[in-house]
Amino acid sequence: MINLHDLTIKKTHDLLINKEISAFHLTKEFFDYIEQRDKKIDAYLSLLKDDALEQANEIDKKIAAKEEIGMLAGIPIAIKDNILVKNHTCTGGSKILKDYKAAYDATVIKKLKKAGAIILGKTNLDEFAMGSSTETSAFKITKNPLDETCVPGGSSGGSAAAVASHQAIASLGSDTGGSVRQPASFCGLVGLKPTYGAVSRFGLMALASSLDQIGTFTKNVEDASLLLEVISGEDQNDNTSMPFNFKAEETKNLLSLKGIKIGIIKECFDNNLNSEIKSAIDANIKILEDLGAETRIISLPHISASLPCYYILMPAEASANLARYDGLRYASSNIDKNLKELYFAHRGENFGQETRRRIMLGAFVLSSGYYDAYYLKAKKVQQLIKDEFRNAFNECDVLISPTTPSEAFKIGEKTKDPVSMYLSDIFTVPANIAGLPAISLPITRKNALPFGLQLTAKQFDEKTLLAISYLLEKALQR
Amino acid sequence: MVEKTINKKVVENLAELSRLDIKESEKDKIAEDLNSILNYIKELEKVPTQGIDLNFIKKTGKEFRRDIPTEEKVSEKDQLIESFKDRKDDFLKIPPVFQ
């Protein structure tokens, strides 16, 4: 009997190459566990059992033949159900795609398969990644494994809950405004959103194309680096992807934080911040200083404009991206009507409340007479925020803030009031607005739910971001 | 900013633009939710943005890839077409636009 709770990528890799377990046995063990555990958690929407076991067998053959295998070979992982896996249903958490079968693999999936990773299944999410609690999914409500009366966060709540409940070793999510880091904060995991352009978005269902980025959920920082190394890099199918050659090994080179400058974002620590979160982050800042880092207060005067800016740009792009779901191209509609009637009936009936709200909001901010006042204004504010970050990074290597303004909230607590739900992303949205890499590291507490500490770095400086995270994590484990 | 209230009529117009059937009974709630969001977005008015120039194109040095069909792409295309509701050869068949 393997203890699934203890497994990280590195540990599992060692067990596999030392033949202490087989990939097949391990994968089977995971499915047996999912079968009982997920009845309570509802992290998965669908499982890929046959393919996974077959893939695991292949890995075992390689190990038996003494072939060298990569770090991800035989590692069971979960994938958010807005990332395409060829020949499997991909719902995006929406009724409108309940029967859709992916025609191709997303680039990240191709890379994971090539690396030998075992895909266990597809995880629940807010409909088309629109939400912060996974409650807008058309199919089920995922529970936070640390307190089943609470949400796991969102929109990648299924991916976070799967790892936090040990139903996968690691998982992929997508992060448009915090959808990886916020659930990582709520579930006590490491959540990484890479730089915009570091990971190909090909095969990720588009929410807001200029902000979306695929990210990772892992139990520690090293695993995040290992996954990033495999999934990142330029891709000819995504013109916004950039040449980015990340090596996980390099993030372990730092021995101390001497010479590292860490900026504490002044605006994130005002009087409204929960005092427990504030003191926990202060304690971590102290640890970073003890490791040799120099810290200073940095002001980003307009960082609080990021969230209102986001609620113009994101719906504007979403309303265009979701125009493709017309009831004809992705099957399922059975309505005997003329074309226009079919559009109205199919979309009206199958899109959920939040999705319809954002489509209409997008149509509003883009409509004639309002474009300058909303969309253009937001693009200018975005530029201003980018400039403020650029200036901040002239003075420091990374910035520190909380990931979320609170720990996980109760299921149903924020569904009635959209703005209160949106506010749970207040600290995560700026990194998307500026296209920066950011990571949420877990701060665990006795007898209370965890929350996250967020570090943000310059574009494509994941190396520094993860190196600092790695040292901080090691110091916390001591 | 310009007019900031969304009433029932605006909701109807947005639903028309967005190709969404919405029930009469939902309209007031939708208007209320959209207004509370707009009210929040309004904070942007306070941010000074004079002199910010968006009319520049950042050179990324990237070119468009050449559009050449590969074997893999052709089989993916066939599979994409398979998911059409209705088709004639490789074309998506749709109900009549005018009746």
pLDDT tens-digit map of A415-459: 999 999 999 999 999 999 999 999 999 999 889 999 999 999 999
Distance CA B82, CA A330 (A): 9
B41 touches chain A (CB under 8 A): yes
Distance from CA of B96 to the nearest CA of A (A): 6
| Cα dist from A280 to A220, A276, A287, A452, whole Å | 19, 6, 11, 10
Better-scored residue on pLDDT, B96 or B39: B39
| B65–A342 C-beta distance less than 8 A | no
- Does B24 score more than 80 pLDDT? yes
Structure tokens at A263: 């900026």
The complex's ipTM works out to: 0.92
Name, in order, each residue with C-beta under 8 angstroms of A442's C-beta and a sequence gap of 6 or more: A184, A185, A188, A189, A190, A450, A451, A452, A453
Q: How confident is the model at residue A1 (pLDDT cuts 50, 70, 90)?
A: low
Report percent pLDDT > 70 for chain A.
99
pLDDT tens for A259-286 read: 999 999 999 998 889 999 999 999 999 9
| Cα dist from A305 to A249, A301, A339, B47, whole Å | 37, 9, 41, 8
With CA atoms as reference, the chain A residue closest to B54 would be: A380
Per-residue pLDDT at A231: 98
- Does A363 score more than 80 pLDDT? yes
Distance CA A410, CA A301 (A): 32
Per-residue pLDDT at B59: 66
Cβ–Cβ < 8 Å for A131, A178: no
**Smallest Cα–Cα separation from A436: which of A408, A464, A469, A467?**
A464
pLDDT tens for A163-219 read: 999 999 999 999 999 999 999 999 999 999 999 999 999 999 999 999 999 999 999
Structure tokens at B83: 């998911």
**Smallest Cα–Cα separation from A229: which of A476, A466, A477?**
A466
Q: Which of A360, A371, A385, A423 is the best mutation test for B, with the most CBs of B within 10 A?
A: A360
Structure tokens at A359: 């489509």
Distance CA A135, CA B76 (A): 33
B27 touches chain A (CB under 8 A): no
C-beta neighbour count of A320 within 10 angstroms: 16
B54 touches chain A (CB under 8 A): yes
Q: How confident is the model at residue B3 (pLDDT cuts 50, 70, 90)?
A: low
| B20–A344 C-beta distance less than 8 A | yes
Q: How far is CA A329 from the centre of its chain?
A: 28
| Cα dist from A61 to A12, A16, A108, B54, whole Å | 17, 12, 24, 56
Q: How far is CA A281 from the centre of its chain?
A: 22
| A379–B54 C-beta distance less than 8 A | yes
Per-residue pLDDT at B1: 45
The amino acid that residue B42 corresponds to is: K
Contacts of A326 in chain B (CB under 8 A): 19
pTM for this one? 0.96
Distance from CA of A305 to the nearest CA of B (A): 6
- Give the alpha-carbon dihedral of A313, A318, A323, A328, to 10 degrees: 170
Q: Which of A337, A364, A429 is the best mutation test for B, with the most CBs of B within 10 A?
A: A364
Distance CA A457, CA A465 (A): 6
SS3 call for A329: coil
Instruction: Work out how many CB contacts closer than 8 A connect A with B.
Output: 142
Query: Apex CA A385: angle with CA A381 and CA A386, to 5°?
Result: 115
Contacts of B80 in chain A (CB under 8 A): 103
| Cα dist from B89 to A143, B77, B78, B86, whole Å | 46, 13, 11, 10
Structure tokens at A55: 């893939």
Contacts of A343 in chain B (CB under 8 A): 19
Distance from CA of B18 to the nearest CA of A (A): 6
The amino acid that residue A150 corresponds to is: C
Query: Apex CA A67: angle with CA A64 and CA A69, to 5°?
Result: 105
**Which residue from A103, A373, A419 is facing B76, i.e. has the nearest CB?**
A103
Contacts of B35 in chain A (CB under 8 A): none
| Cα dist from A330 to A3, A56, A80, A100, A346, whole Å | 41, 31, 19, 6, 12
Better-scored residue on pLDDT, B85 or A152: A152
Structure tokens at A285: 């800042």
| B20–A364 C-beta distance less than 8 A | no
Per-residue pLDDT at A89: 96
With CA atoms as reference, the chain B residue closest to A356 would be: B20
Per-residue pLDDT at B57: 63
SS3 call for A181: helix
Residue B87 backbone dihedrals phi, psi, to 5 degrees: -150, 160
| Cα dist from A455 to A208, A340, A368, A437, whole Å | 23, 48, 39, 9
With CA atoms as reference, the chain A residue closest to B97 would be: A339
Report percent pLDDT > 90 for chain A.
91
Per-residue pLDDT at B10: 94
Contacts of B64 in chain A (CB under 8 A): 239
Q: Which of B6, B35, B83 is the best mutation test for A, with the most CBs of A within 10 A?
A: B83
DSSP notation for A196-244:
TTTB--TTBPPSSTTT--EEEEESSHHHHHHHHHHHBS-BTTBTT----
| A377–B44 C-beta distance less than 8 A | yes
The amino acid that residue A153 corresponds to is: G
- Does A131 score more than 80 pLDDT? yes
Distance CA A263, CA A298 (A): 5
With CA atoms as reference, the chain B residue closest to A335 would be: B95
Per-residue pLDDT at B60: 66
C-beta neighbour count of A51 within 10 angstroms: 17
- Does A129 score more than 80 pLDDT? yes
pLDDT tens for A287-311 read: 999 999 999 999 999 999 999 999 9
The amino acid that residue A411 corresponds to is: I
Q: How confident is the model at residue B99 (pLDDT cuts 50, 70, 90)?
A: low
pLDDT tens for A62-119 read: 999 999 999 999 999 999 999 999 999 999 999 999 989 999 999 999 999 999 999 9
Catalytically active residues of A are 80, 155, 179
pLDDT tens for A220-260 read: 999 999 999 999 999 999 999 999 999 999 999 899 999 99
Distance CA A424, CA A432 (A): 15
| A339–B21 C-beta distance less than 8 A | no
Which range has the worst mean pLDDT, A52-56, A125-129, A374-378, B55-59?
Answer: B55-59
- Per DSSP, A409 falls in state P
What is the separation, in whole angstroms, between the first and last Cα of chain A?
29
The amino acid that residue B60 corresponds to is: T
With CA atoms as reference, the chain B residue closest to A416 would be: B33
